[in-house]
Structure 1
Amino acid sequence: LISESLDELSEAELIDLLLHKNLELKAEDFDEAIIKDTIKNISQLKTIQDKNGEEGCNRYAISNSEDIFSVLFVFGLFRWCGWESDKITFDIIPLFETMDGMDTSENTMKGLFSIPEYQAHLKQRNKKQTIMLGFSDGTKDGGYVKANWSIFKTKERLSAVCDQNNIKAIFFDGRGGPPARGGGKTHRFYAAQTKDIANNEIQLTIQGQTITSTYGTKEQFVHNCEQLLTAGLSNNIFGKENIITKESRELMEELSELSFTKYDNLKQHPMFMSYLENMSTLKYYQKANIGSRPGKRGNKKKLELSDLRAISFVGSWSQLKQNVPGYFGIGTAIKTLKDQGRLQELKDLFNEVPLFRALMLNSMMSLSKCYFELTSYMKDDKAYGAFWNILYDEYMLSKEMLLLISDFKILMEQEEVSRESIKIRENIVLPLLVIQQYALQKMGQGTEFADLYEKIVVRSLYGNINASRNSA
Structure 2
Amino acid sequence: MVTFEVQKHRPESLDEALREDIRLLGRILGDTIRAIDGPATYELIETIRQLAVRYHRNEDKAAQVELERILAGLSDPDINRITRAFGYFSVLANLAEDHHHTRRWRARMVAGATPREGSLAGALNRAKAHGFDEARLKAFFGDAYISPVLTAHPTEVQRRSILDCLDAIAALLTRRDRLADTQDERNEIETELRAKVLTLWQTRVLRMSKLSVLDEVSNALTFFDATFFAEVPKLYAAVEQAAGAGLAELPAFLEVGTWIGGDRDGNPFVDAQVLRSALATQAEKALNHYITEVRALRKEFSFAMLLVDVTPELRALADGSPDTSAHRMDEPYRLALAKIQGRLAATHEALLGRAPTSELSASVRGADAAPYGAVEEFSADLAVIAHSLEGHGAGVLATQGRLGALQRAARAFGWTLAPLDLRQNAAVHERVVAELLAVAQPGTDYLALDEQARIALLLKELETARPLVSRHVAYSAETAKELAIFDEARAAHLRYGKRCIRTMIISKTDGLSDMLELAVLLKEAGLLRPAEGELDVNVVPLFETIEDLRAAPAIMEMLFAAPVYRALLARRGNVQEVMLGYSDSNKDGGFITSGWELYRAEVGLVEVFTKHGVRIRLFHGRGGSVGRGGGPSYQAILAQPRGAVQGQIRLTEQGEVIAAKYGNAEVGRRNLEVIVAATLVATADPAAAEPPDAEFLATLGELSDYAFAAYRNLVYETEGFEDYFWQSTVISEISALNLGSRPASRSKSRSIEDLRAIPWVFSWAQCRIMLPGWYGFGSAVERLLAARGEAEGMRLLQGMSKNWPVFSTLLSNMDMVLAKADMGIAARYAALVHDEALRARIFPRIVGEYERSKRYLLAITEQASLLDHNPVMRRSVVNRFPYLDPLNHVQVEMLRRYRTQSGEGEASERIRRGVHISINGAAAALRNSG
User: Higher relative CO (CA 8 A, sep ≥ 6), structure 1 or 2?
Assistant: 2
Q: Distance in 2 between matches of 1:427 and 1:24?
A: 63
Greater shift in the superposed pair: 321-330 or 222-231: 222-231
1:317 aligns with 2:772: no
Give 1:396's aligned residue. 851
Give 2:726's aligned residue. 277
1:66 aligns with 2:517: no
1:374 aligns with 2:816: no
Equivalent pair of 2:544/2:581 in contact (CA under 8 Å): yes
Equivalent pair of 1:96/1:105 in contact (CA under 8 Å): yes
Seen in structure 2, the aligned counterparts of structure 1 residues 30 and 310 have a Cα distance that, compared at 3 Å, is farther
Opposite residue 458 of structure 2, the aligned amino acid is L
Opposite residue 76 of structure 1, the aligned amino acid is V
Give 1:440's aligned residue. 895
Seen in structure 2, the aligned counterparts of structure 1 residues 232 and 72 have a Cα distance that, compared at 3 Å, is same
Cα-to-partner distance string for 1:116-168 (whole Å, 9 max, x where unaligned)? 11112211221110000001111111110110111111111111111111111
1:416 aligns with 2:416: no
Q: What SS does structure 2 have at the residue aligned with 1:169?
A: strand
Mapping for residues 141-180 of structure 1, pairs under 5 Å: 141-180=588-627
Equivalent pair of 2:455/2:512 in contact (CA under 8 Å): no
Give 1:19's aligned residue. 459
Seen in structure 2, the aligned counterparts of structure 1 residues 37 and 377 have a Cα distance that, compared at 3 Å, is same
Alignment TM-score, normalising by the size of structure 1: 0.94
Structure 1: which 4+ aligned runs deviate by more than 6 Å? none
Q: What SS does structure 2 have at the residue aligned with 1:93?
A: strand
Give 1:385's aligned residue. 840
Q: What SS does structure 2 have at the residue aligned with 1:321?
A: coil
Opposite residue 707 of structure 2, the aligned amino acid is S
Q: Distance in 2 between matches of 1:207 and 1:27?
A: 38
- Residue 708 of structure 2 is aligned with which of 260, 267, 276? 260
1:212 aligns with 2:656: no
Give 1:125's aligned residue. 572
Mapping for residues 237-256 of structure 1, pairs under 5 Å: 237-244=684-691, 245-256=693-704
Equivalent pair of 1:291/1:311 in contact (CA under 8 Å): no
Q: Distance in 2 between matches of 1:291 and 1:137?
A: 19
Equivalent pair of 1:191/1:235 in contact (CA under 8 Å): yes
Seen in structure 2, the aligned counterparts of structure 1 residues 447 and 423 have a Cα distance that, compared at 3 Å, is farther
Shift of 1:369: 0.9
Q: Distance in 2 between matches of 1:287 and 1:377?
A: 22
Equivalent pair of 1:320/1:374 in contact (CA under 8 Å): yes
Shift of 1:435: 2.2
Give 2:883's aligned residue. 428
Count of residues in correspondence between the two structures:
470
Equivalent pair of 1:298/1:307 in contact (CA under 8 Å): yes
Seen in structure 2, the aligned counterparts of structure 1 residues 59 and 360 have a Cα distance that, compared at 3 Å, is same
Equivalent pair of 1:71/1:92 in contact (CA under 8 Å): yes
Q: What SS does structure 2 have at the residue aligned with 1:148?
A: helix
Q: Distance in 1 between matches of 2:526 and 2:686?
A: 44
Seen in structure 2, the aligned counterparts of structure 1 residues 25 and 454 have a Cα distance that, compared at 3 Å, is farther
Q: What SS does structure 2 have at the residue aligned with 1:427?
A: helix
Seen in structure 2, the aligned counterparts of structure 1 residues 220 and 373 have a Cα distance that, compared at 3 Å, is same
Equivalent pair of 1:378/1:388 in contact (CA under 8 Å): no
Opposite residue 454 of structure 1, the aligned amino acid is R
Cα-to-partner distance string for 1:308-354 (whole Å, 9 max, x where unaligned)? 11110000000111000000011111122233322111111111111
1:182 aligns with 2:629: yes
Opposite residue 455 of structure 1, the aligned amino acid is R
Greater shift in the superposed pair: 256-265 or 196-205: 196-205
Q: Distance in 2 between matches of 1:412 and 1:30?
A: 61
Give 1:293's aligned residue. 742
Q: Distance in 2 between matches of 1:375 and 1:332?
A: 20
Greater shift in the superposed pair: 393-402 or 16-25: 16-25
Q: What SS does structure 2 have at the residue aligned with 1:306?
A: coil
Equivalent pair of 1:97/1:134 in contact (CA under 8 Å): yes
1:2 aligns with 2:441: yes
Compute the RMSD of aligned alpha carbons: 2.0
Equivalent pair of 1:102/1:151 in contact (CA under 8 Å): yes
Equivalent pair of 1:190/1:235 in contact (CA under 8 Å): yes
Seen in structure 2, the aligned counterparts of structure 1 residues 55 and 71 have a Cα distance that, compared at 3 Å, is same
Seen in structure 2, the aligned counterparts of structure 1 residues 313 and 29 have a Cα distance that, compared at 3 Å, is farther
Seen in structure 2, the aligned counterparts of structure 1 residues 298 and 25 have a Cα distance that, compared at 3 Å, is farther
Opposite residue 19 of structure 1, the aligned amino acid is L
Q: What SS does structure 2 have at the residue aligned with 1:133?
A: strand
Q: What SS does structure 2 have at the residue aligned with 1:206?
A: strand
Q: What SS does structure 2 have at the residue aligned with 1:77?
A: helix
Seen in structure 2, the aligned counterparts of structure 1 residues 101 and 379 have a Cα distance that, compared at 3 Å, is closer
1:46 aligns with 2:490: yes
Q: Which runs of 5+ in 2 are unaligned?
A: 1-439
Shift of 1:292: 6.3
Q: Distance in 2 between matches of 1:459 and 1:240?
A: 47
Cα-to-partner distance string for 1:265-303 (whole Å, 9 max, x where unaligned)? 01121222112222211122232233563211123xx42
Shift of 1:77: 1.0
Shift of 1:232: 2.4
Seen in structure 2, the aligned counterparts of structure 1 residues 26 and 57 have a Cα distance that, compared at 3 Å, is farther
Q: Distance in 1 between matches of 2:633 and 2:706?
A: 25
Seen in structure 2, the aligned counterparts of structure 1 residues 198 and 165 have a Cα distance that, compared at 3 Å, is farther
Shift of 1:179: 0.8
Shift of 1:11: 4.3
Mapping for residues 74-85 of structure 1, pairs under 5 Å: 74-83=518-527, 84-85=529-530
Q: Distance in 2 between matches of 1:27 and 1:212?
A: 44
Seen in structure 2, the aligned counterparts of structure 1 residues 411 and 121 have a Cα distance that, compared at 3 Å, is same
Seen in structure 2, the aligned counterparts of structure 1 residues 378 and 182 have a Cα distance that, compared at 3 Å, is closer
Greater shift in the superposed pair: 462-471 or 357-366: 462-471
Q: Distance in 2 between matches of 1:287 and 1:454?
A: 10
Give 1:469's aligned residue. 927
Opposite residue 469 of structure 1, the aligned amino acid is R
Alignment TM-score, normalising by the size of structure 2: 0.49
Q: What SS does structure 1 have at the residue aligned with 2:541?
A: strand
Shift of 1:243: 2.6
Q: What SS does structure 1 have at the residue aligned with 2:648?
A: coil
Seen in structure 2, the aligned counterparts of structure 1 residues 463 and 42 have a Cα distance that, compared at 3 Å, is same
Seen in structure 2, the aligned counterparts of structure 1 residues 16 and 365 have a Cα distance that, compared at 3 Å, is same
Give 2:806's aligned residue. 355
Q: What SS does structure 2 have at the residue aligned with 1:305?
A: coil
Equivalent pair of 1:350/1:357 in contact (CA under 8 Å): yes
Q: What SS does structure 1 have at the residue aligned with 2:919?
A: helix
Seen in structure 2, the aligned counterparts of structure 1 residues 389 and 81 have a Cα distance that, compared at 3 Å, is same
Give 1:112's aligned residue. 559
